[in-house]
Structure 1
Amino acid sequence: MANRSRQLYQPRRNNSSSSYSSYSDSTQSKIPKACNQNSNSSSIIYSNKTSSSSSKTGEFTSRIENSNHTDGDQDPPNLIGTCPFMCPVGERERRERLRDLAVFERLHGNPAKTSPALAVKKFSRTISSKDMKASDVRPVPVLEETLNYLLDLLHSSDHPFDVVHDFIFDRTRSIRQDLSMQNIVSDQVIRMYERMVKFHIISYHHLHRSSQTPNTASMSHLNLEQLMKALTTLFSLYEVNRASHSASPNEAEFFSLYLLLHLSPDNQVEPLSLWFRRIPSSVMESRAMSFARRILRYYRLGNYKRFISTTEEEASYLQYCIVEPYISEVRKLAVSCISYGGYKLQPYPVEHLSKILMMKSFQESDVEAFSVDCALETSDDGTGKGLVSTKQAVINKTSKEHNKYYELDSSRIERLCAELPAL
């Protein structure tokens, strides 16, 4: 890996313009002005959230049309990066001196030595486009190459997942920071954000399934936080793109993922009814959004049977990654309903319960273990078949962060999880 050769991006400038000749005129015309060039935020704010959708569209269109003009001292021109490496030379040399190199960046395992093919720019909290040099910012082609390199590491088996996640998490955040400072809106940038959102969702799934130590719990919280920020910026890019009469083919999928992340009312920043009003009709009528809306309805109404069966039949891999943590909660609701509605002198067969909960029928021990997690007593009918006593109060004996997940009895879901989507 250390000897891996990488073709460096060599920027070229026009004599009459500060933009790269490799960028097309159509891409340049889509660069909106930032609301605040000195902002430290990692996302681009394109409009006032309280404005109406029609005024938003007008504002976006105006910014796109005037994006190549500057307003004197008020709005400095957009920063255009010129760094041809994944990590600026100055930062790379400084981190070598400080021995501040991640395990993936060390040349032959040396913590004080790296190379341009290994070092990746770190995220910095104290940074602004006003003080940043163009030589320290990577242009879009270099950022895309860096993202390709990072996502290739995601399924590395040489290191634990939390180590891999921690490295990619920080470096993709730095990519978003460089994109934000340059304020570029294009199909290429949208695809990059979509891929970074996918990374966060896959990490969300892996971290949820891993043993919940304090470290992984913190990682999971931070990952969800950055997932929401990346989605927010992606939706802003979608809206700017639509204002220029262009729509991304993946909008419906990513809007459905946002909705699934808000199944619980506790996770809502604003009422979903207001959020739905801003969604284009073409997205609302899509298959992905139809699935997400039905799952939301089943979850809120407590329809555990439809929730589990619809997830098993229709969920995509990314949708399932988000829904999976809710399945245990819905199963507890199902057990509670069965226990409360059953006849006290007639225990409920574990085999029947496994079918309702879609737990593997040949692993009755899983159903019994799940019943124990719910503080339900189990017994034996004398023939080796388990029974769950009814008229018992269901109590969650484990915290939400330490719930064990019992897999769905579904060959389709197993296949989805085995065949990870391309990033």
Structure 2
Amino acid sequence: MDTASIVVGTCLMKCPQPEIEMREREGLLHHFEIVEGQERLKRPKCVIDRMVKEYKRPAAGQDVADPETLRPVPVLHQTIDYLYSIVTRPNSEWYHIYDYVFDRLRAVRQDIVIQDIQGLDAISLLEKIVRFYVLAVYRMGNKITPSFDPTINNQHTQECLKRLLSLYTEVDGPHSNQIEFESIYLMFNLGDTSALLHYLDLPTLIR
């Protein structure tokens, strides 16, 4: 039995069942979640295995910390890996892919924060998430579309990078990907004094 299967009181799917039922009922399914051939229907059916929990802003009367909706670490990894399968899907417009994956990764980050996931688990999850934001910059540059704003993407990149770099110092290493992400942080902050000071404080081997 895998780790996810023995976690009690948590969601073992990429999307909680109540959300699946609600979004199907209300016609709130994303294009990537719909049964093929039903895209034009007013109330299309979903493919359960394609459903991924969407991001929800905390609001009055909403319990985003409900244990039944929080995904444990193994399921979060499964979710991100599935989202990357969409990133590499042929014959899909990039702006559709970005809009969907960006939102679902934001929900993953929300689950990480609410559960206070730390240590190597947090590192491995954040490394995967940052790579998507960097890929988006490579694909889109400074081009603004209805789904992609480079400023917002940069903001999320910086938030994840700073947390990731902090974890590298908190968790005993070595960390096999640290040099890669330290480099990404420097490139995202060229000319920034605090980034330069951070670099100078790094161990000689990392520098």
State the TM-score, normalized to the length of structure 1.
Answer: 0.44
1:421 paired residue number? none
Give the one of 1, 6, 10 matched to 1:82.
Answer: 10
Q: Are 1:239 and 2:162 an aligned pair?
A: no
Distance 2:140 2:32 in 1: 20
Distance 1:214 1:246 in 2: 40
Deviations 1:86-120 (A, max 9, x none): 11111111111221111101123355321330110
Q: 1:186, CA displacement in angstroms?
A: 3.5
1:101 paired residue number? 29
Structure 1 residues 173 and 246: CA distance shift in structure 2, 3 A = same
Q: 1:11, CA displacement in angstroms?
A: 2.6
Give the one of 127, 132, 136 matched to 2:69.
Answer: 136
Give the one of 219, 227, 234 matched to 2:157.
Answer: 227
Q: Which structure 1 segments of 5+ residues have no match?
A: 1-6, 14-80, 285-423
Deviations 1:259-283 (A, max 9, x none): 01122x4xx4x53343234433332
Distance 1:229 1:12 in 2: 29
Q: Bigger radius of gyration, 1 or 2?
A: 1
Q: Are 1:249 and 2:176 an aligned pair?
A: yes
Residue 205 of structure 2 aligns to a residue in which SS? helix
Residues 258-407 of structure 1 mapped to structure 2, 5 A cutoff: 258-263=185-190, 265=191, 268=192, 271-284=194-207
Q: 1:131, CA displacement in angstroms?
A: 5.9
Q: 1:246, CA displacement in angstroms?
A: 2.6
Residue 202 of structure 2 aligns to a residue in which SS? coil
Letter in structure 2 aligned against 1:100: L
Aligned length: 201
1:157 paired residue number? 90
Give the one of 26, 50, 56 matched to 1:118.
Answer: 50
User: Are the counterparts in 1 of residues 55 and 103 from structure 2 also a CA contact under 8 Å?
Assistant: yes
Distance 1:8 1:184 in 2: 15
* RMSD after superposition: 2.7
Residue 259 of structure 1 aligns to a residue in which SS? helix
State the TM-score, normalized to the length of structure 2.
Answer: 0.85
2:130 paired residue number? 197
Distance 1:234 1:145 in 2: 20
More helix by share: 2
Residue 283 of structure 1 aligns to a residue in which SS? coil
Q: 1:8, CA displacement in angstroms?
A: 11
Structure 1 residues 98 and 196: CA distance shift in structure 2, 3 A = same
Structure 1 residues 196 and 213: CA distance shift in structure 2, 3 A = closer
User: Are the counterparts in 2 of residues 92 and 119 from structure 1 also a CA contact under 8 Å?
Assistant: yes
Q: Which structure 2 segments of 5+ residues have no match?
A: none
Deviations 1:146-170 (A, max 9, x none): 1110001112122111111111111
Structure 1 residues 271 and 143: CA distance shift in structure 2, 3 A = closer
Give the one of 155, 174, 183 matched to 2:107.
Answer: 174
1:215 paired residue number? 146
Letter in structure 2 aligned against 1:170: D
Structure 1 residues 127 and 246: CA distance shift in structure 2, 3 A = farther
Distance 1:221 1:131 in 2: 27
2:19 paired residue number? 91
> Percent of aligned positions with the same letter in both sequences?
27
Q: 1:189, CA displacement in angstroms?
A: 3.2
Residue 117 of structure 1 aligns to a residue in which SS? helix
**Larger RCO: 1 or 2 (CA < 8 Å, sep 6+):** 2
Residue 87 of structure 2 aligns to a residue in which SS? coil
Residue 141 of structure 2 aligns to a residue in which SS? helix
User: Are the counterparts in 2 of residues 8 and 85 from structure 1 also a CA contact under 8 Å?
Assistant: no
